[in-house]
Amino acid sequence: MKRHNLSKDLLIKLYLLMLKIRLFEEAQARVYRLGEQEGFTHLYIGEEAIAAGACIDLNKDDYITSTHRGHGHMIAKGGQLKLMMAELYGRSTGYCKGKGGSMHIADFNIGVLGANGIVAAGIPIAVGAGYSIKLRKTNQVVVCFFGDGATTQGAFHEGINMAAIWNLPVIFIIENNMYLVGTRISRVCKVCDNLSIKAAGYGIPGKRIDGNDAVEVYLTVKAAVENARKGNGPALIECKTFRHHTHFEGDIDARDKKEIEEWLGKDPVGRMETLLFKENIISKSDMENHRKKISDEIDEAIKFAKESPKPDKKVALEDVYMN
């Protein structure tokens, strides 16, 4: 992992964003195992470099579309931890008034068009947002996150094809953690060693990168975003990564133990810490202070969520339809 002449401030900012995602997800795992939350939760631990690197330079009015593993994207785009945690607890003070839960957090005010429990379903939403940008002639972009499994879905082909022919400002990011729940991507895809080559079929740029290298993710997405803002259309970026936990909390892990151990050694947060130490950018005491500050913020978010009321049954049918 190299610094690539990035400023100290930017590297620290990248690290703190990754750390915030990591500590939030670790706390989420704890409270979920305690039975304090209902439903499913799919953790982003191990993939933090992608969300942080891709979103850190976006404007507030730029859009993102997320997935069932979307907490990291939400935090990276500026989501408030209190409102996120309240939503995960199913409380009325949450982003979606406690009705969405883990897989459906959204906040249009910061450009988060929603997490999505359906594989590849965020792609058509991203293309629609990109088309709206073109019609309104604004300088916005859309960053569309999805997993390797989504590349086998029809929405992937249709969405990227439409974005390509209409030259829309959409950056498609594959978070390739190599597993579709418990099925390895190689069992369902012939070009699994390089999913980014699918870009050639749509006449757009495609690139495969180390998704656990926050600096590489940042530089690659930044270049694609700048190109899209100039009116040069979409790009497809494949980020090779690995989730540390099972598909969802409580799931059976069908992955090879040696493979898991190998990827744990490529931990994106740990790699960023090593870089910061090597470059004398941050001290261990400063790092511990940052950890404590973020942990305190997360504890406050959990406290806020627990003390918030559950939604009244009378509002169950509110916000279902929009005029």
8, 14, 15, 18: CA torsion to nearest 10: 180
| pTM confidence score | 0.96
Has residue 36 got a pLDDT over 70?
yes
Instruction: Using alpha carbons only, give the angle 267, 246, 297 rounded to the nearest 5 degrees.
Output: 60
Domain boundaries of the chain, sorted by first residue: 8-307
Nearest-angstrom CA–CA distance, 85 and 16: 19
Assign domain 8-307 to its CATH superfamily.
Thiamin diphosphate (ThDP)-binding fold, Pyr/PP domains (3.40.50.970)
pLDDT tens-place string over residues 59-72 = 999 999 999 999 99
Tokens of 301: 């978010």
Closest CA to 95 of 31, 104, 117, 67: 104
Has residue 56 got a pLDDT over 90?
yes
Has residue 323 got a pLDDT over 80?
no
73, 180, 146, 195: CA torsion to nearest 10: 130
pLDDT tens-place string over residues 197-225 = 999 999 999 999 999 999 999 999 999 99
Nearest-angstrom CA–CA distance, 205 and 242: 24
pLDDT of residue 193: 85
User: In one letter, which amino acid is 163?
Assistant: A
Average of per-residue pLDDT values in the chain: 96
pLDDT tens-place string over residues 247-267 = 999 999 989 999 999 999 999
pLDDT of residue 286: 95
50 within 8 A of 217, measured Cβ to Cβ: yes
Query: Residue 13: how many CB atoms within 10 A of its CB?
Result: 15
pLDDT tens-place string over residues 128-144 = 999 999 999 999 999 99
